[in-house]
Amino acid sequence: DSVSKGLLGFQSIPVSHLLDDIVVPPGYQAEVFFRWGDPVSDGPEFQMDASNSAADQALQAGMHHDGMDFYALPRGSNNSDHGLLVMNHEYLDLQLIHNDGSHLDSPDSYSADKVLKEQQAHGVSVIEVKKIDGHWQIQRPSTYGRRITATTPMQISGPAAGSDWIKTAADPQGLKVLGTLNNCAHGKTPWGTYLACEENFNGYFTNAEQAEVSSVQRLRWQRYHLGRSYYGWQQFDTRFDMAKEPNEVNRFGWMAEIDPYQPDSMPIKRTALGRFAHENAAFRLTRDQRVVVYSGDDARFEYIYKYVSHEAWDGTQGSHHGHLLDNGVLYVAQLHEDGSGQWLPLVWGQGPLTADNGFADQADVLVHARLAADALGATPMDRPEWIASHPELDSVFVSLTNNVQRGSGDNVSADAANPRNHNLYGHIVRIDEADPAALNFGWEVFALAGGEEDGGTIDGDIYACPDGMLIDDRGVLWVQTDIADRQLNSGDYAKFGNNQMLAVDARTGETRRFLTGPVGCEITGAVMAPDMKALWVNIQHPGSVPDVLRAQGVEKSPQNPRASSNWPDHHPQGRPRSATVLVTKHDGGVIGT
């Protein structure tokens, strides 16, 4: 039924079964806009065989595009013809980043140069985009074009800055760190800066067992799942070796504020927002104009947090408002069975957060926010991913992507807010707060994902594993899915096909499938131009190999990078590349109508 009952005016599309391309509804087009390896300004071009150097990579788009936002030019305007697109590059496909493989496939040729290239492929890209003759293009050269990587110097601010937890041999003051890592999604501050969230930072540090630290410290590391690395950076960059530098890991798991309008500005990690696996940051304002930042901790049985600034924002633009993210209170959510909830403050000296319980000071509480939240009795959730705030409703929406461990073994069982044991398909919870300064809230399960036969409650096209979200100015909740790459197109997940993006009327729940991605990818990150006539969407890790293809003998390697996908270039010597795609309507109209 393509007749709109409300906000959604497009004809929904079917699920995509292993098609190696993007599909959008009739009347729409999707074009590849900015791929891994494309220069952010007038830097070097991508080499199809991935032979670009670390120095090249430092001037090119990183890998694994994720959260993204749009910053109109000039600053403070609502211009829909010119702006900056800022996006995260979350992690790497180690079989694709180098010409001949990483420490996993080619341990003998692993080198400091390879480590540096891997580090330069992380972080954030800023590109200048302009609509010329009705068509959005990347401006090259651009004075704004910029890469922020895992080696970019950053300031550390807030209550944990300068504390003993943050000090290292290389930075005895505990005020400066090199780089940002595993930047999943992001936030856009009301004053026009970008927050790059650091999610699975644990995956970069290793040798915890060899470190000479107390048993208390070891427990804290366990709580953050620290100890083993997917990368091999410690071989050439010792700060990632926990036995050699046990505190470096405390300098990740934060949110880094970046001013995209000032290409020479130094990013600042804001420690008042707490240290955990930050998915994204959603902003609201209290009735007295104080700043509220919501953020989920994406791991099984982790929590939902919000931060409320002490001071009000004066409504003006510019990075000088950053101190609002340094002085405030961080809370964690407790969701009660009756649909009410409470925000519990992570304030040292209050409740259980005292020296008697092992918390030395406020810096300790923030560096070890997960342990503080445990002590407060926060509600364990089914992997809190993105949080999105609605422009008119007094609500934020939280995607809870899945949690197959709920109810198994010693794990907690289903509750009202996480109502399914062995939660394969995830759900979305809405939190309602008339004034986000309040410490009490109401909440409701907005949708249980999956089909009706799975107990799903979706009104329309089905999906599983909700993750990325955007609520546009019309009140359409755009939901992006992240069924784990190996599970795509098979077993319990077969009927959902490739990962996808849906449009949901946030008031009624009506749901229509809008976009399906290429083989093996996740869809994550989306932003519209202010006039809503351009939608940029990020396609992450195309070319991952679902088990259903592995069973047919499809195997990817540095020598065979195109095993499952050759999107987007379909070049005979190419390789799959994460990319931003630009979606527009043939008639130039508003997206989703």
Residues within the interface to Ca ion (CB under 5 A): 385, 467, 482
248 binds ligand FEO (CB under 6 A): no
Taking CB atoms within 8 Å and a gap of at least 24, the contacts of 131-137 are 131/80, 131/81, 131/82, 131/529, 131/534, 134/588, 136/33, 136/529, 136/534, 136/582, 136/584
Q: Which is nearer to ligand FEO, 23 or 398 (CB)?
A: 398
Binding mask 253-282 for ligand FEO (x = CB under 6 A): --------------------------x---
β-strand 500-505 against 510-516: which pairing, if any? antiparallel
Question: Can you read off the two tokens belonging to residue 511?
Answer: 């749901």
How would you class 74 by CB atoms within 10 Å of its CB: exposed for 0-12, middle for 13-18, buried for 19 or more? exposed
298 binds ligand FEO (CB under 6 A): yes
Question: Can you read off the two tokens belonging to residue 557?
Answer: 């390697």
Q: Which is nearer to ligand FEO, 161 or 539 (CB)?
A: 539
> Could you give the dihedral angle defined by the CA atoms of residues 109, 112, 114 and 117, in that order, rounded to the nearest 10 degrees?
-170
Element (DSSP H or E) covering residue 55: helix 54-57
Rounded CA-CA distance 422/406 in Å is 5
- Cα dihedral across residues 113, 115, 116, 117: positive or negative: positive
Which residue's Cβ lies closest to Ca ion?
A: 482
Decide which of Ca ion, ligand FEO, none touches 259; Cβ closer than 5 to 8 Å per partner kind.
none
Q: How far is the CB of 370 from ligand FEO (least distance, A)?
A: 15
Binding-site member from 38, 118, 128, 199 for ligand FEO (CB under 6 A): 199
Q: How far is the CB of 481 from ligand FEO (least distance, A)?
A: 12
241 binds ligand FEO (CB under 6 A): no
Decide which of ligand FEO, Ca ion, none touches 245; Cβ closer than 5 to 8 Å per partner kind.
none
Nearest to 325 by CA among 172, 469, 197: 197
How would you class 403 by CB atoms within 10 Å of its CB: exposed for 0-12, middle for 13-18, buried for 19 or more? buried
197 binds ligand FEO (CB under 6 A): no
Q: How far is the CB of 469 from ligand FEO (least distance, A)?
A: 12
β-strand 194-198 against 183-188: which pairing, if any? antiparallel
- Cα dihedral across residues 565, 552, 502, 76: positive or negative: negative
- SS3 of residue 353 by DSSP: coil
Q: How far is the CB of 503 from Ca ion (least distance, A)?
A: 19
400 binds ligand FEO (CB under 6 A): no
Residues 501-520 that bind ligand FEO (CB under 6 A): none
485 binds ligand FEO (CB under 6 A): no
Which residue's Cβ lies closest to ligand FEO?
A: 184
Q: How far is the CB of 464 from Ca ion (least distance, A)?
A: 11
Q: Which is nearer to Ca ion, 69 or 385 (CB)?
A: 385
Q: Which is nearer to Ca ion, 385 or 510 (CB)?
A: 385
Residues 84-143 that bind ligand FEO (CB under 6 A): 90
Instruction: Tokens 């069975």: give the residue.
Output: 337
Rounded CA-CA distance 81/300 in Å is 41
Decide which of ligand FEO, Ca ion, none touches 56; Cβ closer than 5 to 8 Å per partner kind.
none
198 binds ligand FEO (CB under 6 A): no
Rounded CA-CA distance 91/181 in Å is 8
Decide which of ligand FEO, Ca ion, none touches 198; Cβ closer than 5 to 8 Å per partner kind.
none
Q: Which is nearer to ligand FEO, 128 or 485 (CB)?
A: 485
Decide which of Ca ion, ligand FEO, none touches 199; Cβ closer than 5 to 8 Å per partner kind.
ligand FEO
Interface contacts to ligand FEO, rule CB under 6 A? 90, 184, 199, 279, 298, 385
